[in-house]
Amino acid sequence: ELKVEQNPLFLSMQEGKNYTIYCNYSTTSDRLYWYRQDPGKSLESLFVLLSNGAVKQEGRLMASLDTKARLSTLHITAAVHDLSATYFCAVDERKKYGGSQGNLIFGKGTKLSVKP
Amino acid sequence: DAGVIQSPRHEVTEMGQEVTLRCKPISGHDYLFWYRQTMMRGLELLIYFNNNVPIDDSGMPEDRFSAKMPNASFSTLKIQPSEPRDSAVYFCASSRPGRAYGYTFGSGTRLTVV
């Protein structure tokens, strides 16, 4: 059974600082997704990582995937208040002999609060 | 593209009543997912469909929950009878073939059972 663990679950940052959110998963997968959720809102897709070594950047956020380590990171550079939200990673559950099961398994989310 | 459309946005009902949540996926998307989100349990996959066929309903908590997808443009999630512990935000999501773009989520239905 695929398990997805994020850490930290809560992160309080000062504006201008850098930090990294980690996402570990328990079984083989080469597809990983990052989402953002604002309070009371839906989930918004941030990054789709489809291969080992994939790196995507958008503004102050950069995501990477290491399929051998079963680890993805979401790096925040020079945080600003607008980045305050909950960030989820999700992993495409794979079948035993290859191919996708068709569903994503989500981590519990990292609640980020950026303070001035 | 109007995105994934869910209705209602909010639902307040009394315990024991039937509740029906609705979802219209994005045209051309072949997967549809129902998730439930609570503070305690996070995001839980309830059921998902591929080409209108239910693939995995192992996340449906009890027989009180049922889901249908009669055609490619509509799905329902029904709770009968509802209980206070069913209070949560229910999200519908859809994805296109290959899922290289991940899921697109609807705005969710906030259900409160009193």
| pLDDT at residue B1, rounded to an integer | 67
| pLDDT at residue A104, rounded to an integer | 84
CB B27 within 8 A of CB B3: no
| pLDDT at residue A103, rounded to an integer | 77
| pLDDT at residue A30, rounded to an integer | 76
Q: Do A42 and B48 touch (CB under 8 A)?
A: no
- DSSP 8-state code for residue B13: E
Question: What are B79's strand-pairing partners?
Answer: B19, B65
Is residue B76 over pLDDT 60? yes
| pLDDT at residue A116, rounded to an integer | 85
- Mutation target to probe the B interface, by most B beta carbons within 10 A, among A3, A9, A43, A88 is A43
Tokens of B61: 């908590």
Could you give the CA distance from residue A49 to residue A61 in angstroms, rounded to a whole number?
14
Beta strands in chain B (DSSP E): 5-7, 10-13, 19-24, 31-38, 42-50, 53-56, 65-71, 74-79, 88-95, 104-105, 109-113
pLDDT more than 70, % of chain B: 96
| pLDDT at residue A27, rounded to an integer | 83
| Residue spans of chain A under pLDDT 70 | 94-102
Mean of the per-residue pLDDT values of chain B: 93
Interface of A with B in 75-104 (CB under 8 A): 88, 90, 92, 100-104
| pLDDT at residue A97, rounded to an integer | 57
| pLDDT at residue A100, rounded to an integer | 61
Nearest to B102 among A45, A102, A109 (CB): A45
Is residue B98 over pLDDT 70? no
For residue B100, the chain A residues in CB contact (below 8 A) are 48, 50
CB B84 within 8 A of CB B114: yes
Could you give the CA distance from residue B109 to residue B92 in angstroms, rounded to a whole number?
9
CB B46 within 8 A of CB B75: no
| pLDDT at residue B100, rounded to an integer | 66
| pLDDT at residue A50, rounded to an integer | 86
| pLDDT at residue B96, rounded to an integer | 82
Question: In Å, what is the CA distance from A95 to each residue of A24, A39, A100, A101?
Answer: 19, 34, 6, 5
